Amino acid sequence: MRILVSGGAGFIGSHLVDKLMENEKNEVIVVDNFFTGSKDNLRKWIGHPRFELIRHDVTETLLVEVDQIYHLACPASPIFYKYNPVKTIKTNVIGTLNMLGLAKRVGARILLTSTSEVYGDPLQHPQTEEYWGNVNPIGVRSCYDEGKRVAETLMFDYHRQHGLVQAPGTQTRSFCYVSDMVDGLIRLMQGENTGPINIGNPGEFTMMELAETVKELINPEVPIKVVENTPDDPRQRKPDITKAKELLGWEPTVTLRQGLPMMEDDFRQRLAVPKKQSKSSIFEIEIIEKYRDGTIDKVEVAYACTQGARVEEDENADGGSNKDATEVYEANSSSLFDQPDSPPSDAPGLSLPPDSAPDPAP
C-alpha cells in the first residue's frame, strides 16, 4: 500500500506516519513545506527504504502514484494561520483541490482532517456532525474556519460529482491524545463510511483547568499567565462522538491526566531536554535496580522506602538538604544491612507475602 500524508512533518502527521510505518506492507510518502512542520519529527524514518520525504507546497500540483491520501496539510495554530491568512485560505482551498485532483487521477481513497473550528462559536452543545456551525465569515480566524468549511464542501462536491472519493472528512482539533487520534483516522480510512465523523475526546474542561492540571503534573513551580483572548474564540467546544463509536467502533482511551505526562516525555525527547530528578527519586531508582539484580530483598526494600521518605522530608524542609544524591544513597544503603531482618512498623505501602517474611530468630 502506497500512502501519501500531506503535512506529515507536523505533530499529528508525524505520529500518523509512525503508526503507518509499523506495517511492513506500507510505503509512506510525506509532503510538507515545513512552514510549521519539522524534519526532526521524521528523522527516524529518513533513509528508510519504505519512506520518502518531499519538500512540497500542496498549493502546487503534485504527481505521484498512491493508493491512499491523508490530507492534513494546513497550519492549525492561530499564531501561524493568522500570520498569513491568504496563504491559509489557499492551502485549504487550492491545496484540497490539488489533493482531490490527485485522488481522482490515480483512484486513491482520500481523507481530509478538518477541524472543530467549522462549528465556530457553537450554539449547540455538544456538537454533532449535522450541526452547521456559527462562524464569523470576516473575522481574524475566518481564514482557517471558512477555509476548512470550503475544503469540506469540495470533498463532498467531488464525491457527488465524480463518485471516486470515499472518505471526505473528519473533525479534529479537540483535546484528544495523539495515539487515539491516529487510531481513529486509520479506522476511518480503512472503513466504508463517507463522513464527516467527529474524532475527538468529549472530555470538557476550561483552559484554566487545563493550565492548573499541567502545572500540577508537569511543574508545580510554573506561574500561570492570563492574557487577553483572541477575537471570535469559541466559548464551548465538545464533540459528539456517537457516530465514531457506532460506525468505527472507536472512542478515546487516554485521559487528559494520563496523556499530559506522556506528552511531556515525548517533547523532552524531541527537544533533548532531560527531566530533573529529585534526590529522593534518584535514591528510589537505585533501590529498585539493587532489588532487580538481587543485591537486596523485599524486606530491605521496605526499610529503604522508609529511609527514602525521610530523605524526601529533608529535601522539603526549609533550607533543603546539604547532602548530594550520592551521599544520601550511600548513607541509606549502608544502613540497610545494619538493621534487623524485619522492616520497621511504619514501612510505607508494602505488603509482603508470607513466604517472603524472614524466618524467626532461633
Identify the active-site residue in 70, 119, 144, 177. 144
Sheet holding 68-71, edge to edge: 51-55, 27-32, 2-6, 68-71, 109-113, 167-171, 197-198
Separation of alpha carbons 323 and 330, rounded Å: 10
Contact (CB, 8 A) for 186 and 179: no
Contact (CB, 8 A) for 113 and 12: yes
Burial class for 164, CB neighbours closer than 10 Å (0-12, 13-18, 19+): middle
Dihedral of CA 238/188/181/116: which sign?
Answer: negative
Separation of alpha carbons 146 and 141, rounded Å: 8
Contact (CB, 8 A) for 126 and 109: no
Cα angle, residue 184 at apex, residues 201 and 264 outer, rounded to 5°: 60
The x, y and z cell numbers of residue 178, run together, are 495523539
Separation of alpha carbons 197 and 244, rounded Å: 6
Q: For cell 531508582, what's the residue?
A: 285
- Residues belonging to the chain: 362
Q: What is the DSSP letter of 51?
A: E
Separation of alpha carbons 197 and 184, rounded Å: 10
Separation of alpha carbons 48 and 34, rounded Å: 20
Q: Nearest to residue 5, comparing CAs of 56, 78, 40?
A: 56
Annotation says 144 is catalytic = yes
Say which residues have a Cβ less than 8 Å from residue 244's Cβ, sequence separation at least 6.
184, 197, 198, 199, 250, 251
**Packing angle of the helix pair 325-336, 298-316 (nearest 10 deg):** 140
Catalytic residues: 144
